[in-house]
Chain A
Amino acid sequence: MFDFLGDYDILGAFWTTVQLAALSAVGSLVWGTILAGMRVSPVPIMRGFGTAYVNVVRNIPLTVIIFFCSIGLASTLAVNLAPQDSPTFIIDNSFRLAVLGFVAYTSTFVCESLRSGINTVPVGQAEAARALGLSFTQVLRIIVLPQAFRSVIAPLASVLIALIKNTTVASIIGVAEASLLMAEMIENESDAIILVFSVFALGFVLLTLPVGLLLGWVAKKVAVKR
């Protein structure tokens, strides 16, 4: 009864999921850190922009954002992220649009986690750094952010796990990742839907569980002892 599993490229689909998650994670970390820097900066207009961005984007459903990237940006505004003449244009374009959507959305959670991490750094540290004559960017870069990062590894791990699960949303704009393949298989093999579901459920457990365990271990290891 397991033979039909061989007819589908399950590993390939999960590989796309992993790629989506990895690229989006790196992008979200970068953009989220910049946002967090803006939100704590001494320049009011940057703080305002950071706050507005986080509060608006975080409250829009990811599905709406992903749809917007595909239908709004690509179809309506013709903002394409891949060379139009390439043979794999449609695949590349929807993949990159999905990454763009994930980064826009996930970075707000990264930003909020980091900001709570910045708040765990004792006031005296920043005061001492300022007394030594360090500027705002130096205080942030040398003293505060390194400690903040170490204290938010556990929350960032949750964000990453959420991101891995969220990559399934990319299926609604046709990115060939795990959930799209599951939908197809479940349709075709209607007498074995529980088996198909179990395979994909197990796949996601295998993807998310080690990430949680590993980062939980790292978080304990690098936690700043106070």
Chain B
Amino acid sequence: MGSSDLLTTFCRQAEAMGAQTLCVAEGEKAADRIIASMRPLGSRVALVASPLVEEIGLEEALAGAEFEVEKEGRDFARHADIGIVEFDLGIAETGTLVHDATDLKKRLASMLPLHCVALLRSGKVVPDMAEALSFYLKSGQWPGYLAMVTGPSRTADIERSLTIGVHGPEGLLIVLLG
């Protein structure tokens, strides 16, 4: 599969699993587009700093757009409406996001708020689970907390009726960049 095929498959699968995807082309104002999609979700944001967040100037843009941004501190992410986290990889076959979430803030921001905005470089999509695991096996010590996320949190425990947003986010927005 070529890289654009991988990306298409990834988006199709992720959407099938209940995530939303937002593809931002190179040269586009990424931060503006993300902010536009975040507006309806709330105003308190738990943001985990990362190279990509820096690159697109997301923190400043959020502040400018009057979001309340927290980046650390006691009770981090506990009261936020939205958590923003960069992920390492996407798995095309299942529309899955993968990240080394040993860093506590990454975990809290992607678990506690009702919405999660996941940032991913579009060149980081691999075909399947085996490729994703090889990636981490090759990159030195195995991560302390490797998390794979596919769609929002879900349950079918009552009458098998699919309901999203149990303990984790009920909304997962995947932003694919450049």
Q: Do A and B come from one complex?
A: no
Q: Residues of B at under 8 Å CB distance from A?
A: none
Q: Residues of A at under 8 Å CB distance from B?
A: none
